[in-house]
Amino acid sequence: MATKSEPVQAGGSEPTADQPDGGSARHEHAEPTLSVAAVARRLGIAPATLRTWDRRYGIGPSGHTSGRHRRYGPADIAKLELMQRALLRGASPAEAARYAIQTASSGGAADAVREPETLVTQRTPVDIGGVVEIGTDGSATFDPELESVIAKAVAAAVEPESNGPADGLSDGFDAPLGRAGGRGLRLPGGSVRARGLGRAALAMDALAVHELITDAIADLGVVGAWDTTIRPVLTAVADRWAHSGECVEVEHLLHECTLAAMIGAAPPVTRPSNPRPVLLACVPHEQHSLPLYVFNAALSHQRIGTQMLGAALPANALAAAVRRTAPAGVALWSQLPRSADPLVFQRIPRTRQRIRVFACGPGWAHVDLPDRVERLDDLGESVERVRTLVLGSSDGQA
C-alpha cells in the first residue's frame, strides 16, 4: 500500500502539493488566461486597441504588473465584451468603459462569461448614460444573439477603419445631416442610436445593423427610426462616397438591412382603414426605391392599405395598375432629377372616383408639376397628408 510520502502510480507519477511546477493546490483551479494577441483575435480588434483601453480607461487585465505581459482572465474578457456592446449602442469609449467597470463591480461581467443568457434578464433597470441598462443584479439588457458579432463593430469606434464606399443614395425625404470624416462616419448632432448604427455599418456587421434598425423601429416608430437613426447614417455614408469614392459596400449593406427591416415592419394590412388602396411606385428608370418602402411601412402603421409596386415601374404598367385597382391615391417616387419626368402623370387615367396624385422624392424639387399633383417632402408630413386625404382624418402618428 502506498504511503503519503510515496508517489501514486497510475500511469505515471502524480505531482504532490510540494512540487513547484503546476502541481500545487494553489494552482489546481486557476482560471485560464489569454494573451493580448489572443484576446484581440477573439474580439476582432487590434492589440493596440486593447492596450489603449487599458491605458486610457482602466479596462485591462486585473492581475497585470508592470514589466510583465498582459494576461486576460474570463472576467476581464467579459468586461471587454460589455464595453463593446455599449460602444455598439452609441456610447463614447469613456462612457462604455464606465458602464463595463460599473457592471463588473456588481458581478455582471462574470455572469456575461459564464451565463450569456442572463444578459437579457431585466430587473428594475437602471439607465446608464442613456446608452445601456443593467438590473439590480448587474445583468445587462442586450440581445445575446449579438454576442458573437459585436466585436467587429467596435473597431470603428476607436481605430481607423479601412473605409468602404457609398453609391450616393440620399436620404430621400429630408436634407442631409452628416459629413464624412477620415476615421469614421461623422454624425454631428447624431443620436446615440445613429452613432451605433454607423459603427456597425462600417464594420460590415450585417446582423448588428439589422438588429439596431429593427430595435429603432420598435422603439421610435417608422418615421422616428428613419429620421433619427437610419437617414443620418445613409446621408453620412453618401457624403463619404462623394468626398472619397469609398463606402459603396457599406451603403449596400445599409440599404439591404433597412429594406428587410421595413418590409418586416409592413405586413399586409388585413383590415385597412381605407376601402381603396394607395398605390406606391417609382417612376420609370428610377431604381432607388428604399425611401418608398419606408413610406409604405409608415402608412402600414397607420393601417392605410397600399399597393407597393417598387422600382422603375413602366408608365403603361402604372396606367394598367390604376385601372385595375381604382386607388384612392397614387404616389410616384423620383430620387434623381433625370428620372423626374412630369409627363408620367399624364399616363394616370381618369376614373369616376377621384384619385389623389403625389410627387415624392428630391428628384421633383425643381420640376413644374401639373395642377392636380401635390408634392410631398418630409416623411412624417407625407404620411399625415396622405392619411388625411384618404381617410378625411388627422388622428395618430406613424
| Domains (range + CATH), the chain | 32-143 (1.10.1660.10), 160-264 (1.10.1240.10), 278-391 (3.40.50.280)
Partners of residue 331 on adjacent β-strands: 280, 358
On the question of pLDDT at 269 being above 50, the answer is: yes
pLDDT category of residue 373 using cuts at 50, 70 and 90: very high
Closest CA relative to residue 266, chosen from 142, 383, 385: 383
Question: What's 331's DSSP letter?
Answer: E
Q: How many angstroms from the chain centroid is the CA of residue 265? A: 15
Q: How many angstroms from the chain centroid is the CA of residue 331? A: 28
pLDDT tens by residue, 224-258: 999 999 999 999 999 988 888 888 999 999 999 99
On the question of pLDDT at 174 being above 90, the answer is: no
Question: Across the chain, what does the average pLDDT equal?
Answer: 75
8 Å CB contact between 239 and 179: yes
Q: What are 167's three cell numbers? A: 453609391
Number of H helices, E strands in the chain: 14, 11
Handedness of CA 69, 75, 76, 80 (dihedral sign): positive
On the question of pLDDT at 29 being above 90, the answer is: no
**Best-predicted range by mean pLDDT (64-78, 135-149, 247-261):** 247-261
On the question of pLDDT at 312 being above 90, the answer is: yes
On the question of pLDDT at 365 being above 90, the answer is: yes
In the block, cell 492596450 appears at 51
Q: What is the pLDDT of residue 69?
A: 66
Q: What is the pLDDT of residue 83?
A: 82
pLDDT tens by residue, 322-350: 999 999 999 999 999 999 999 999 999 98
On the question of pLDDT at 291 being above 90, the answer is: yes
